[in-house]
Amino acid sequence: MSWLKMSWANLLSRPLGSLLAILLMAFGVGIVSLLVQLNAQLEKQFTTNIRSVDMVVGAKGSPLQLILSGIYHIDAPTGNISLNELNDLKKNPLVKSVIPLSLGDNFQGYRIVGTTPEYVEHYNAELHEGKVFENVLEATLGANAARQTGLKIGDHFVGTHGLQANDGHVHDDQEYVVVGILKPSGSVLDQLILTPLESVWAVHDHHHHDHGHSHDHTEKHEHDHSDGHHHEDDHVHGPDCNHDHEDGHHGHDHAEGHKEHSHGAHDHHAHDDDHVHGPDCNHGHAEEREVTVGLVKFTGPMARLQLPRHINTNTNMQAALPAIEINRLLGLLGIGINTLRWLAIVIMLLSAISVFVSLYNSLRERRYEMALLRSMGASRSKLFQLICTEGVILAFIGFVFGWVFSRLAMFLISGYARESYRYALEVWNWNKEDFLLAGVSLLIGLIAAVIPAVRAYSTRIHEVLGGKTE
Amino acid sequence: MGFCKRVICFIFTAMSVKITDLGFTYQDGEAFRFPNVEVEKGQSLLITGPSGSGKSTLLHIMAGFLTPKEGDVRIDSQSIYQLSESARDAFRGEQIGMIFQQHHFVRALSALDNVLLAWIATGRKPDEKMAKEILSDLGLSSKFHEKPQNMSQGEQQRLSIARAMVKKPAVVLADEPTSSLDDANAESVGKLLIDLTQNHNVALVVVTHDQRLKDIFPRSVSLANAKMNSL
């Protein structure tokens, strides 16, 4: 037996009043904690993934959509842009670097992103095992994508057209091979399957070749190869246009040969070899290539003022500044979050009133107990402590329940986010704001208990235990 | 008072309660002058009087709840009104056990825990063994974990007595301990109190208007003339 046990026993002896106070406190704490957690996670995701991307260029449309699809991979892209235009942008002295991304397919809902190894370096991602993709149809998986899909090094898989799981054509004629898995980086890379740009082109060239045309392709070389070049080798161009031939030489005039290709962009790969060019191969047919977005870094602050307007006015591309768009988005979200936050504060105030009413009412019933304790030698300050302890216990239990509620809600939201956007949110982590919330909750319990405690403190034993007023 | 003085005082007088020239006035002018009273350890005193004669007032003054206008109350040679309020609280917790007319308990606690409160209220380590012993002596061995409100009147009264006696105080003050009991139980409780007083070597002061106890207690004082028109 102790004073703490007595406080606890007193609370248990009036379960309904205590439960109401606890539930109200839990509800308030739960909402606040959930909002804090969501806010922190959203901000973390937004800031981590912007990671010094100064500008995103893509097809014209909604700038926010461009940012969401290009950086966070949670929305559909606005369309495609010409690789040529992107390469022209790269030559602009105000541009430090451009990372092209090509979207269009997914594997079990995880987006397959055609890009260059600079994308991995940009996020400082480290390899958990294997290597970063180098050749066409090699894939390096983000940590979460690997864990959720169960793919391992050496596994083969095929992409599905579209950005949602199971809603498109399966490219079963083009198999990717997993060559690397990244360590968790806390960035968007965790949710992505990365592959060279050429893979995306290759897969879609085949796709269009097989499905996008009515003409018969049972024969593979219908297009004109009158120039006589023939791709029997694995003819792959890297992003820097270095020819990569297994046999170490190339037996034809490449530039000329490609100029004479008369087929469209999607027919180009209707060879029985893998003749693929890197994104910088601006020799003839690169103009036919498309990518989805380009992530741009500026050389200096002047670029921010000049480039977006220049691009939006003079090119077929759209430029969007992530910082501005995300601030706009957070501003919009903020209205809702602020409303909920105020609601939670009101609920917490109600819980304080509930704790107060619960203790105050119980004290009316317990005035004899208070007098009895005084008669047994308990000091006034002991009674004050007893009532305050009860208030703090109610608040503490309310906080614990509220915190658990918030994390259960977070668990559900995380499941939804994973299902819908392949984003994994942290659920059970303890933020520094939770310390603050715990402190505020206990303080509320204490403040709510002060008036009843003062009443207990000023118990006049003689009057309560049957005497008349002194 | 120094320790040696207290020891000498204890050896020669063994006086547990001493009331001298005690007078008290309520704010509304109702005034009392109480007779001088002395009770030694192991002895009991019955204080009787009609309703409104100041019995409860006297008891509350002896317990340190009410401050007298004049006179002195000494418990175990300590003048309790020379103590500060907090020291008086602690002294009461150590040296005074109380039995009330209505059996006040902490409803949330078991019978055993209510007895343990005798120590906890003053921040001392509870002696569970002793608490169980006295409850068993009073026939409540099967009621340790019972809530007081679920016990009979007689059991509640015995529980109240156990709580007052368990820490072996210098004096036990009882306010109408038998008024709600039938004749048999009243006699039984009266005798029990006297036995416990002797066995535990405490002084017992009972204030009551219950005339049934007059035959049981060897010594009594009447407050019939304590009330004054005004002081």
| Same-domain status, A257 and A387 | no
pLDDT at A280 over 50: no
* Percentage of residues in chain B having pLDDT higher than 70: 92
Overall average pLDDT of the B120-133 stretch: 90
Measured between alpha carbons, how far is B206 from B217 in angstroms, rounded to an integer?
Answer: 9
Task: Name the residue facing A369 among B91, B106, B122 (closest C-beta).
Answer: B106
**Vertex A305 angle, CA A303 and A306, to 5°:** 65
| Same-domain status, A265 and A118 | yes
Measured between alpha carbons, how far is A23 from B17 in angstroms, rounded to an integer?
Answer: 52
SS3 A268: coil
Q: How high is the pLDDT of residue A166? A: 64
Verify whether the Cβ–Cβ distance B100 to A3 is below 8 Å: no
Closest CA to A53 of A115, A129, A142, A139: A115
Verify whether the Cβ–Cβ distance A6 to B109 is below 8 Å: yes
Measured between alpha carbons, how far is A249 from A279 in angstroms, rounded to an integer?
Answer: 21
Residues A98-113 have pLDDT tens digits of 999 999 888 988 899 9
Q: By the CB < 8 Å criterion, does B124 face chain A? A: no
Compute φ and ψ for A92, nearest 5 degrees.
-65, 130
Partners of residue B45 on adjacent β-strands: B205
More confident site: B71 or B229: B71
- The kind and range of the H/E element at A59 are strand A55-59
| Crossing angle of the two packed helices A380-421 and A432-457, in degrees rounded to 10 | 150
pLDDT band of A172, cuts 50, 70, 90: low
Residues B14-67 have pLDDT tens digits of 568 899 999 999 888 888 999 999 999 999 999 998 888 888 899 999 999 888
- Quick one: residue A141, left, alpha or beta (phi over 0 = left, psi -120 to 50 = alpha)? beta
Measured between alpha carbons, how far is A367 from A373 in angstroms, rounded to an integer?
Answer: 10
Q: By the CB < 8 Å criterion, does A456 face chain B? A: no
Highest mean pLDDT of the ranges A60-64, A250-254, B2-6: A60-64
**Vertex B38 angle, CA B33 and B40, to 5°:** 155
| Same-domain status, A86 and A42 | no
Task: Name the residue facing B106 among A6, A380, A467 (closest C-beta).
Answer: A6
pLDDT at A12 over 70: yes
Q: How high is the pLDDT of residue A58? A: 93
Residues 6+ apart with CB under 8 A from A318: A57, A58, A59, A60, A61, A63, A66, A78, A311, A312
- CATH number of domain containing B7: 3.40.50.300
Is residue A291, in this structure, part of any structural domain at all?
A: yes
Q: Which residue of chain B is at minimal alpha-carbon distance from A363?
A: B106
- Sign, CA dihedral B224-B225-B228-B229, equals positive
| Same-domain status, A315 and A431 | no
Whether A371 contacts A459, CB under 8 Å:
yes
More confident site: A250 or A420: A420
Look up residue A171 and give its two tokens.
């490219």
pLDDT band of A321, cuts 50, 70, 90: very high
Q: Which residue of chain B is at minimal alpha-carbon distance from A377?
A: B93
Q: How high is the pLDDT of residue A287? A: 45
Minimal C-alpha gap between B203 and chain A (Å): 17
| Same-domain status, A20 and A150 | no
Residues 6+ apart with CB under 8 A from B185: B153, B154, B157, B178
How many domains is chain A built from?
A: 2
Q: How high is the pLDDT of residue A461? A: 83
pLDDT at A154 over 70: yes
pLDDT at A293 over 60: yes
What is the per-residue DSSP string for A272-314?
A: SS--B--TT--SSGGGG-EESEEEEEESSHHHHHHHHHHHHHH
pLDDT at B120 over 80: yes
Overall average pLDDT of the A445-457 stretch: 91
Domain end among A263, A294, A320:
A320
Q: Which residue of chain A is at minimal alpha-carbon distance from B89?
A: A377
| Crossing angle of the two packed helices A367-375 and A322-365, in degrees rounded to 10 | 70
Residue type, A442: L
| Same-domain status, A63 and A200 | yes
Is residue A326, in this structure, part of any structural domain at all?
A: no
Report CA dihedral (B197, B202, B206, B211) to the nearest 10 degrees: 30
Residue type, B227: K
Compute φ and ψ for B28, nearest 5 degrees.
-80, 5
| Same-domain status, A186 and A76 | yes
| Same-domain status, A28 and A162 | no
> How buried is residue A340: exposed, middle or buried, by Cβ count under 10 Å (0-12/13-18/19+)?
middle
Highest mean pLDDT of the ranges A65-79, A209-223, A330-344: A65-79
More confident site: A188 or A51: A188
Whether complex ipTM tops 0.90? no
Task: Name the residue facing B104 among A12, A368, A380 (closest C-beta).
Answer: A368
Verify whether the Cβ–Cβ distance A6 to B56 is below 8 Å: no
Q: How high is the pLDDT of residue A115? A: 94
Q: How high is the pLDDT of residue B164? A: 92
CB-defined contacts A:B, below 8 A: 101
* Residue that has been written with the tokens 């368990």 in this structure: B166
Q: Are strands B203-208 and B37-40 parallel, antiparallel or unpaired?
A: unpaired
Domain end among A266, A295, A320:
A320
Minimal C-alpha gap between B111 and chain A (Å): 12
Q: Which residues of A59-69 are buried (b: 16+ CB within 10 A; e: fewer)?
A: beeebbbbbbb
A18, A372, A393, A457: best mutation site toward chain B, by most B Cβ within 10 Å?
A372
How many domains is chain B built from?
A: 1
pLDDT band of B148, cuts 50, 70, 90: very high
* Residue that has been written with the tokens 């309660």 in this structure: B17
Verify whether the Cβ–Cβ distance B108 to A9 is below 8 Å: yes
Q: How high is the pLDDT of residue A210? A: 46
Whether A159 contacts A192, CB under 8 Å:
no
pLDDT band of A446, cuts 50, 70, 90: very high
Length of chain A: 470
pLDDT at A303 over 70: yes
> CA distances (Å), A257 to each of A281, B107, B134, in order?
14, 98, 110
State which residues form the domain around B66. Answer: 3-228
pLDDT at A212 over 50: no
| Same-domain status, A8 and A72 | no
> How buried is residue A57: exposed, middle or buried, by Cβ count under 10 Å (0-12/13-18/19+)?
buried
Residues A363-380 have pLDDT tens digits of 887 888 888 898 888 989
Residues 6+ apart with CB under 8 A from A105: A111, A112, A159, A160, A161, A162, A163, A168, A171, A200, A203
Measured between alpha carbons, how far is B115 from B105 in angstroms, rounded to an integer?
Answer: 9
Domain end among A320, A345, A373:
A320
Residues A225-260 have pLDDT tens digits of 333 333 333 333 434 433 333 333 333 333 333 333
| Same-domain status, A7 and A99 | no
pLDDT at A319 over 90: yes
Q: How high is the pLDDT of residue A253? A: 37
| Same-domain status, A309 and A350 | no
> CA distances (Å), A319 to each of A98, A188, A304, in order?
13, 21, 10
> CA distances (Å), A314 to each of A59, A243, A253, A310, in order?
13, 33, 35, 6
More confident site: B13 or A331: A331
Compute φ and ψ for A351, nearest 5 degrees.
-65, -35
Q: How high is the pLDDT of residue B229? A: 61
Q: By the CB < 8 Å criterion, does B177 face chain A? A: no
Q: Which residues of chain B does A375 touch, with a Cβ-Cβ cutoff of 8 Å? A: 63, 65, 92, 98
What is the per-residue DSSP string for B158-173?
A: HHHHHHHHTT--SEEE
State which residues form the domain around A21. Answer: 3-46+336-464
Whether A376 contacts B122, CB under 8 Å:
yes
pLDDT at A1 over 70: no
Mean residue pLDDT of chain A comes to 78
Q: How high is the pLDDT of residue A37? A: 85
Q: How high is the pLDDT of residue A99? A: 94
| Same-domain status, A430 and A362 | yes
